[in-house]
Amino acid sequence: MKRIMLRCIIVGYGFLGKRLAKLIASGAVRGVKLVGIASSKGYIYKEDGFLPSDLPDDLRSSSMLRPAPASELIDKRIADLLVELTPTNIRDGEPGLSHIKLALEQGMDVVTANKGPIALAYEELMGLAEERGAMLLHEATVGGGIPLISLKNRCLAADELLSIKGILNGTTNYILSRMHFEEMTLDLALREAQMLGIAERDPTLDLEGVDTALKLVILANSLMNMGKRLSDVKIKGITGITSEAIAAAKESGMTIKLIGIADEDGLRVAPKLVRLNDPICVHGTLNAVSFNFRILGRLTIIGEGAGESTVSALINDIHEVMKTRMRSNRI
């Protein structure tokens, strides 16, 4: 019997791309072969698939490098699956949006961790995927490795999701946790987070609540069919939170967390008082999301919301594509 093989290309060769490439090249997902890798510097391609020893730390050091845009690699039609991992762009979703569109138009399946295209053009992209008979999976866009999207869509598809409430940003949660437990000022906690690599050099999107809002839009649209845009979210960040406010909350057996909420009243992100015994009251870089279902009621899931754990979501989405295509005998 002919062995089935899913040919995969990765566009975006940063933290996630390098770790994912190594896993696929090592055979982490049986039947998946990594044949191409692209970055902003160009791309490399190997028809018979990359082994771990073939993977450069920097594509510029590879003798196989072709200094051409990633779109050229996608347009070669030598792969069945695109994994899109370029940086999030909240203005227009590029270049990830164009990469995903190009792949879907060719009938390629797509797995992504890029929040921009999914938050800005969810309905368009899902419509294109359906039209071309392709899969578009994006578990890794929200909550790192926490299976929020697949939990609802695969395990609880028959139950109606009424609301979503949770902590969706590890950077702000770390800062607020340090302010609560160590009585740090926001500025000091932020500097510590930056030194530890938890916060970006420019943490504006995190601190002002925009990153949380992006993730909330993705969850609201993919799990509740709300058809929302980032502009529909009422957003307030944590920059105005003082040590005094944290201390006052603490005296009442509460703390302050940056909370995203999606329900019948719309989408909003803002600092909220949360009781210390509330299931979503997690600390450090943890994320926590509470779903409220019509039949099941409240279900809270907690986990690491970024970094290495995100690779788990990517691998599982790739596995889902492979499993689905084997059933359909498409590859």
Q: Do the first three CATH levels of 6-145+309-328 and 157-304 match, i.e. the same topology?
A: no
> For residue 293, what are the CA distances in angstroms to 148, 282, 290?
13, 21, 10
Every domain of the chain and the residues it spans: 6-145+309-328, 157-304
> What sign does the dihedral 196-18-8-85 (CA atoms) show?
positive
Burial readout 255-294 (b: 16 or more C-beta within 10 A, e: otherwise)? bbbbbbbbbeeebbbebbebeeebbbebbebbbbbbbbbe
**In the structure, what pLDDT confidence band is assigned to residue 308 with cuts at 50, 70 and 90?**
confident
Predicted local distance difference test score (pLDDT) of residue 241: 97
Predicted local distance difference test score (pLDDT) of residue 1: 35
Q: Which two tokens stand for residue 62?
A: 């590879």
State pLDDT tens for residues 249-280. Answer: 999 999 999 999 999 999 999 999 999 999 99
Average pLDDT of the chain, as a whole number? 95
Residue listed under structure tokens 């967390």: 257
Q: Which residue among the candidates 18, 101, 165, 215 is catalytic per the annotation?
A: 215
> For residue 268, what are the CA distances in angstroms to 131, 294, 319?
32, 21, 34
Fold assignment, 157-304: Dihydrodipicolinate Reductase; domain 2 (3.30.360)
State pLDDT tens for residues 56-65. Answer: 999 999 999 9
Query: Has 215 been annotated as catalytic?
Result: yes
Model confidence, pTM: 0.95
38 backbone dihedrals φ, ψ, rounded to 5° = -130, 150
State pLDDT tens for residues 128-170. Answer: 999 999 999 999 999 999 999 999 999 999 999 999 999 999 9
Nearest alpha carbon to residue 3 among 30, 35, 36:
30
Fold assignment, 6-145+309-328: Rossmann fold (3.40.50)
Name every residue whose Cβ is closer than 8 Å to that of residue 123 and which is 6 or more positions away in sequence: 221, 227
